[in-house]
Amino acid sequence: MPFTVRRATRGEIPVLAEVLARAFVHDPFFGFLAGDAPERGQRMREGWRGILRHGSAGMRETYTTEDHAGVAIWLPPGDRGPSVIGSLRMLPAMARLAGWRRLRMVAATMAALEERHRHHAPDDHFYLSALGVEPERQGEGVGTALMQPVLERCDHDGTPAYLETATGRNVLLYERVGFDVVEELTLPGTDVHGWLMLRRPPGRS
């Protein structure tokens, strides 16, 4: 089934945040972030709005489909996350996602994950920050289609790509498009198991 994939716009942030909140509702890592509070759904939506506004490199490499079946958020080479100002702007949304009382614990876990990121991908690379597909559209190839614009550029330019996933079935999806598992781990302070994956350009080992 063909999909029209295009760059997302900032005006689409509210609808894209809704898509990502639904897509990640059962994701172990985002379940850890949001906790088990009754308002978890609202926390997820507000967290994703903050990530899209302040943690997506200005949405320069954020992709969706015409019918908003899914979202892929990439950070381009040289961009290792939000600036100090961006981080401060994102703090309230992240606090609403995790809860102010849990924020320090969540920050420590994310810092440990970022240390492994820098270890496995020290050179310039594309980072797949998030890939989410509407639950009822999963299995249709939407996720693969959303990755293609960046993966094609990686192949053309000889640029690596990196991601993390806490969902075992997603490992096969990413392996099909060239990613390899470089580390499995249980995130510090959690019972969440994760796979860290690197995609090397063709011809490089």
How far is 14 from 16, CA to CA, in rounded Å? 6
Selection from 45, 121, 56, 122 nearest residue 87 by Cα: 56
pTM, entire model: 0.88
Q: Which fold has domain 5-199?
A: Aminopeptidase (3.40.630)
* Mean pLDDT by groups of 10 residues along the chain of 205 residues: 88 97 88 69 84 90 97 89 50 64 76 91 94 95 96 96 94 97 90 94 70
Taking the alpha carbons at both ends of the chain, their separation in whole angstroms is 33
Which strand (E) or helix (H) includes residue 151?
A: helix 142-157
How far is 131 from 147, CA to CA, in rounded Å? 8
Q: How far is CA 104 from CA 94, 112, 150, 179, 195, in A?
A: 11, 13, 33, 31, 23
Give Cβ neighbours of residue 175 (< 8 Å, ≥ 6 apart). Answer: 181, 197
* Domains in the chain: boundaries: 5-199
